Homo-oligomer: A and B are copies of this chain.
Amino acid sequence: MASFAEAIAVDGKDGTYTASLDPEWTVSGKPHGGYLLAVMAHAAILADDERAHPHPLSASAVYVTPPAVGPATIEVEHLRRGRGASHVRARLVQDQGTRVEALFTLGRLTDHAEPSWVDRRPPAMTPLEECPVSEIAPPGAGVRVEMLNVVEQRLDPASFRPADGGPGYQSGTGEFRSWLSFADGTPFDALSLLYAADSSPPATLTLGSVGWVPTVEMTVYIRAVPEPGPLRIRQHARVLGAPVVDQVCEIWDSSDRVVAQATQLAFVRLREA
């Protein structure tokens, strides 16, 4: 079992890097979108200046074609080298084709102040030990979430349990709240938060969507280096109008601080009425 740091290892210089996309960080055999963003951010940081700008402040990606597990190339180009922040473009290529393209702002989070204002408190959560551990092959989901071998995800039943107490996820809330830890106990850092920001099951499952919900575009802002301990993640849908849905993700660390925020646009299919 590879650690997350091993799984996002890249090798290279002068803007060209190779990675081996890990078979464990996958959903139904395809590399996970948040994992891919972390691999690309890793290459972007090495191409820039790892000491001056060790953290991704913003990451925006379009998912062009799903890559396969195995070797991939990441091409990094500088848009601007700055003192406080750099702007970098990264492209993940397999078989001469662009699979993911992303724009990054790189900087140093530890220069950032404690927030002077936040719009709301962390969500009320059912205690971690009372939340069921997510299964790799949830009954009827039609997907196999291999990455659940390497992370422990616990979904808050208060967010997904149908009002009649029945089985399934169709609570009608448009929201999943979850706890997330690495199975090997590694604490999260700024890079692995890019993975965490895409780790939740689609919130549309609570609204009756079927099958996978492939991401078209995802933007993540990393706001702080997290304190050790499980993350609390709120994933919620805002406007569900087939064929697309947008979802917002917010992540809090064990000190109740917002550490990451994400938004994504994805294709969605609805159950026949």
B261 with A119: CB separation less than 8 A: no
Stretch in contact with the other chain, from A54-62, A144-152, A191-199: A54-62
Stretch in contact with the other chain, from A26-34, A159-167, A236-244: A236-244
Stretch in contact with the other chain, from A68-76, A135-143, A216-224: A216-224
8 tightest A-B CB contacts, nearest first: A60-B60, A115-B241, A58-B217, A219-B219, A117-B240, A64-B80, A62-B103, A119-B238
| Residue from A61, A102, A243 having most chain B Cβ neighbours under 10 A | A243
Q: Is the interface of A mostly helix, strand, loop or mixed?
A: strand
A contact residues, total (Cβ < 8 Å)? 50
Please give the distance in Å from A83's CB to the nearest CB on chain B.
12
Q: In chain B, what residue has the closest Cβ to A203?
A: B119
B116 with A101: CB separation less than 8 A: no
A257→B118 CA distance, assembly (Å): 27
B243 with A112: CB separation less than 8 A: yes
User: Which of B80, B85, B116, B119 is within 8 Å of A270, CB to CB?
Assistant: B116
Q: List 7 A-B contacts (CB under 8 A).
A: A60-B103, A79-B101, A102-B103, A117-B174, A117-B240, A119-B239, A217-B219
Is A246 in contact with chain B by the CB < 8 A criterion? yes
Is A105 in contact with chain B by the CB < 8 A criterion? yes
**A221-234 interface bits toward B, Cβ cutoff 8 Å, 1 = contact, 0 = none:** 10110000000000
Chain A, 71-101, CB within 8 A of any chain B CB: 79-80, 84-85, 87, 89, 98, 101
A118 with B221: CB separation less than 8 A: no
With contacts A62-B58, A103-B62, A265-B105 taken as known, whether A116 is within 8 angstroms of B240 at the C-beta atoms is: yes
With contacts A80-B98, A174-B119, A219-B219 taken as known, whether A261 is within 8 angstroms of B246 at the C-beta atoms is: yes
Q: Which residues of B contact A239 (CB under 8 A)?
A: 115, 117-119, 223, 258, 261
Please give the distance in Å from A77's CB to the nearest CB on chain B.
9
Please give the distance in Å from A79's CB to the nearest CB on chain B.
5
A115→B217 CA distance, assembly (Å): 19
Q: In chain B, what residue has the closest Cβ to A174?
A: B119
Please give the distance in Å from A116's CB to the nearest CB on chain B.
5
Is A130 in contact with chain B by the CB < 8 A criterion? no
With contacts A101-B79, A238-B258 taken as known, whether A246 is within 8 angstroms of B265 at the C-beta atoms is: no
A216 with B58: CB separation less than 8 A: yes
Please give the distance in Å from A258's CB to the nearest CB on chain B.
5
Is A124 in contact with chain B by the CB < 8 A criterion? no
Is A65 in contact with chain B by the CB < 8 A criterion? yes
Is A207 in contact with chain B by the CB < 8 A criterion? yes
A149→B157 CA distance, assembly (Å): 52
